[in-house]
Amino acid sequence: MASINLANKNIVVVGLGLTGLSCVQFLLAQGAKVTAMDSRSALQHALDIPVHLGEFDAEILSQADLIVLSPGVSLQTPAIQHAIALGVNVVGDIELFARFNTLPLIAITGSNGKSTVTHLVVEMCKASGLQVLMGGNIGVPALALLNTPADIVVLELSSFQLETMSSLKAVSATVLNICDDHLDRHGSVENYKNIKHRIYDNAEFVVASRDESATQPSNRAVNITFGLSASEHDFSWDNDTSSILYQGQHWLSSAECLLVGAHNMLNIQAASALSLLAGATMDGIKQGAKCFAGLPHRCQTVAIHDHVRWINDSKATNVGATLAAIEGLASTCAGKMILIAGGQGKGADFSPLGLVLNEKIDFLITLGQDGGHIAALKAGSCQVTSLEEAVSVAAQHAQKNDIVLLSPACASLDMFNNYQHRGDCFAQAVQQVVMQECTV
């Protein structure tokens, strides 16, 4: 794909987080004349360029040759919309990356599971003898990967990144799943889905869920499907043997994998399909699937005490992620399931949780800005004011063989710095309870 000449162009970078800083560095290396903006009124930086803090300057934006928008800044911001109306082109870091990247690429998005699938793909490609780069919405900003020797690039992409992207060309691409998320920014599920589907534009091969039509592109065929439904084709699941099938034949038993839960069996299938289409070997794919143990804050066991398993799934920032965690763990739970949920709902509809909460959750504890909305879905729920209190209440109710699951179905910013902070606080609170019980 042809790159673009940025030398001497008047370019404004909006947002100076990790991605925005990578954009500034890249653009300066290309000889552009860079100005930066950030909505924060106080920001420590060492940039030798003009930096405007606080309210965005619409006049400066409207005079730019190009605006590079960080994913954390909404495209609907009035000053940005004013510039667009005047004909200024607005892109994000992924679009810049797409214009300059020369390596084969695997692209991954979805409401849930994309970080796990991204890491699985990396492990599968490495086990196949390929030199792999990983970045995007996870780890290293995409632009920082340019000009680094490798056989393939694996990118995790958010809807915020895809919203300003049009030129990305992947060897294999997937939308893993679609559920209500970021509706406070995207307005509707349909718009959110359409943004996610941008990942399929220009892709050589498409991987999508056989069981979720919203993940399937409307204008082209799917090359490999995956799902928990039975199928003689592609990747599927045999519930009787708890095994992944490929082309209708036994391929990999869940007992051979470190990952647990039905949702992770889907993640393995999706990663396997993406890797296979991009040139990984079947042996390497299997090895990667067997050896990958999962990521922090994603159905991560933080303690087993008195035969009670405490699981940190703080990364579950939407309803679909929590549903997947509950469904995935329910079949492995020999006792009761206690759920801690709640936080900042981002405008989501919590009603899809209702049936599962009443059928598979024995005791519900909620907290945070929208915890009351979740508590209303199940009689006998307990509302608390802190995560430490939630853990304490859970400990009082938990018995042998029970699972206590933190899977909030909400964002964390009403009470925590981010989902990692929330998960760390949960793990610390659990350890305090365990230590107290051990000293009694």
Measured CA to CA, the distance from residue 181 to residue 171 in angstroms comes to 27
pLDDT of residue 419: 96
> N- to C-terminal Cα distance for the chain?
66
* Residue 1: per-residue pLDDT: 40
Q: What is the mean predicted confidence (pLDDT) over 7-29?
A: 96
Task: Please state which architecture CATH assigns to domain 300-432.
Answer: Alpha-Beta Complex (3.90)
Backbone φ, ψ for residue 66 (5° rounding): -160, 140
Residue 34 has pLDDT above 90, yes or no: yes
Considering 112, 137, 312, 318, which one is annotated as catalytic? 137
Range scoring the smallest mean pLDDT among 86-95, 189-198, 203-212, 374-383: 189-198
**Model pTM score:** 0.82
Locate the domains of the chain by residue range. Answer: 10-91, 96-291, 300-432
Bridge pairing between strands 205-209 and 172-175: parallel
Give mean pLDDT, residues 366-372: 98
The CATH homologous superfamily to which domain 96-291 belongs is Mur-like, catalytic domain (3.40.1190.10)
Contacts of 360 (CB under 8 A, 6+ apart): 326, 327, 330, 337
Pick the catalytic residue: 114, 196, 315, 336?
114
pLDDT confidence bin for 260, thresholds 50/70/90: confident
Which residues, other chains included, contact 183 with Cβ-Cβ below 8 Å and sequence gap of 6+?
189, 192, 346, 347, 348
Alpha helices in 166-215 (DSSP H): 183-186, 189-196
pLDDT for res 440 = 55
The pLDDT, as a whole number, for residue 179 is 81
Single-letter code of the amino acid located at 358? N
Of the candidates 266, 227, 234, the one whose C-alpha atom is nearest the C-alpha of residue 248 is 234
Angle, vertex CA 303, rays to CA 299 and CA 308, nearest 5: 95
CA distance 285 to 280: 7
Q: If DSSP codes are grouped into helix, strand and coil, which group holds residue 374?
A: helix
- Contacts with 355 (C-beta within 8 Å, 6 or more apart), sequence order: none
Assess contact for 335 and 400: CB atoms under 8 A: yes
Segment 278-289 shows an average pLDDT of: 98
Decide: 10 and 63 in contact? Cβ < 8 Å.
yes
Q: What is the 3-state secondary structure (H, E, C) of 118-166?
A: HHHHHHHHHHCCCCEEEEECCCECHHHHCCCCCCEEEEECCHHHHCCCC
What is the average pLDDT value for the chain, to the nearest integer?
94
Report residue 183's pLDDT band, with 50, 70 and 90 as the boundaries: low
Question: Closest by alpha carbon to 14, among 34, 38, 30, 48?
Answer: 38
Q: 10-91, what's its fold?
A: Rossmann fold (3.40.50)
169 with 99: CB under 8 angstroms? Answer: no
Contact criterion met (CB below 8 Å) for 315 and 299: no
Question: What is the pLDDT averaged over residues 328-344?
Answer: 92
- Catalytic site includes residue 137: yes
Q: Which of 35, 43, 52 is nearest to 17 (CA)?
A: 43
